[in-house]
Amino acid sequence: MAKKRWRDLSPRTRRIILVASAVDGALKAVALADLKRRDADEVNGSKRAWATALTLLNSAGVLPVVYFVRGRRRPAA
């Protein structure tokens, strides 16, 4: 089966891809901004590793959500 080109996709499919890409990009930008603001002791794992993964991996929005759920430490009460 041949690869489909952008022009071969339906307008609906193109719109879905563009919206999903925008959401993924926004989530990554917010996650990176949050990571930059935090001290290293407020992050589970290495800040450098999180930044590298958020920047380089194509995650369809999953990795930024994982960062917000598991990558940040809860503040001590």
Interval 6-54: pLDDT, tens: 999 999 999 999 999 999 999 999 999 999 999 999 999 999 999 999 9
Please name the residues in contact with 8: beta carbons below 8 A apart, sequence gap of 6 or more: none
Confidence of residue 3 (pLDDT cuts 50, 70, 90): confident
Closest CA to 71 of 50, 52, 55: 50
pLDDT at res. 61: 81
Average pLDDT over residues 42-69: 89
Would you say the pTM of this structure is higher than 0.85?
no
Buried b (16+ CB within 10 A) or exposed e, 28-46: beebbebbeeeeeeebeee
